[in-house]
Amino acid sequence: MIELYGKQVMTTLPEIAAPEHSALLVIDMQNDLCSDDGVFAKQGADMTSYHGMIPRLDALIGSAREAGVLIVFVQATTLPGGESRSPAQILFELRMRESYAHPLDEPFDFCIPGTWGHEIVDGLGRGPDDLTVLKHRSSAFQGTNLDLVLRSNGIKTVVATGCTTEGCVDSTIREAGFLDYYPVAARDCVASDNPPLHDAAMVILEAYRAVVVDSGELTGVWAGAGDRAAAETR
């Protein structure tokens, strides 16, 4: 902790990621986006990175739950019939689709509520006390109640995980910082269907946008906090 301008600034990972004021965001880990049979895979997106990342993310979720960290599953959501799509959003999605190896000709519908594609991928256990936020844009804060929920629970730090690194993860991290949260990214628990864009995004995130650490470092902080709390009650 340092003091600047008369304000206390957290600087170390144990301070920043203390479980009592941290939230773990699991962003867009849904079948349409991360599964081999999902809409994005059918466009030619590369799912390889997600296969290895999911077990690590599941372990991190378990660690967070044991430490009492607030867990929020964020789900990309597209309303049927284009009801959640503005003309600008439609153009964005067209450009995104055209970036894949073999874009399909039919409408690019994905993550429709009530469909398999909207559901969280297998391998990530969601607990009964975990929160859910549905979003219609890249950032998990845009047009959602996420900021209200976090502030209502005394959250100061947002730990971002999920997909895609250069898209919804990056957008959420940036807006978290703009809203005066401490942004943290779990390096080995974010992934993309476009490895070069993942690498480019990580360069920027690690430069100054977020505190970027391996999931094992977070697990160590959260387990250590629990050990200290247990020792204090003896």
Q: Which of 32, 34, 135, 163 is catalytic?
A: 135
Task: Output the pLDDT for position 91.
Answer: 85
Q: Which of 168, 170, 189, 193 is catalytic?
A: 168
Domain-wise residue ranges, the chain: 19-232
How far is the C-alpha of 178 from the C-alpha of 185, rounded, in Å? 15
Task: Output the pLDDT for position 11.
Answer: 97
Q: At what angle do helices 48-67 and 215-232 cross, to 10 degrees?
A: 10
Task: Output the pLDDT for position 228.
Answer: 56
Task: Output the pLDDT for position 95.
Answer: 84
Q: Is 168 a catalytic residue?
A: yes
How far is the C-alpha of 191 from the C-alpha of 210, rounded, in Å? 16
For the record, the structure tokens of 50 come out as 């997600």
Angstrom distances, CA of residue 101 to CA of 40, 44, 104, 165? 10, 5, 10, 19
Task: Output the pLDDT for position 105.
Answer: 67
Q: Which fold has domain 19-232?
A: Rossmann fold (3.40.50)
Give which of 88, 52, 87 is closest to 188, Cα–Cα.
Answer: 52
How far is the C-alpha of 136 from the C-alpha of 151, rounded, in Å? 21
Task: Output the pLDDT for position 181.
Answer: 98
Mean pLDDT (10-residue bins), the chain, 234 residues: 93 98 98 95 92 97 97 96 86 80 75 96 92 97 97 98 97 98 98 95 96 98 72 47
Task: Output the pLDDT for position 234.
Answer: 44
pTM of whole model > 0.85?
Answer: yes
Angstrom distances, CA of residue 3 to CA of 10, 11, 65, 201? 9, 10, 31, 30
Cα dihedral 105, 199, 147, 17 sign: positive
79 alpha carbon, distance to own chain's centre: 21
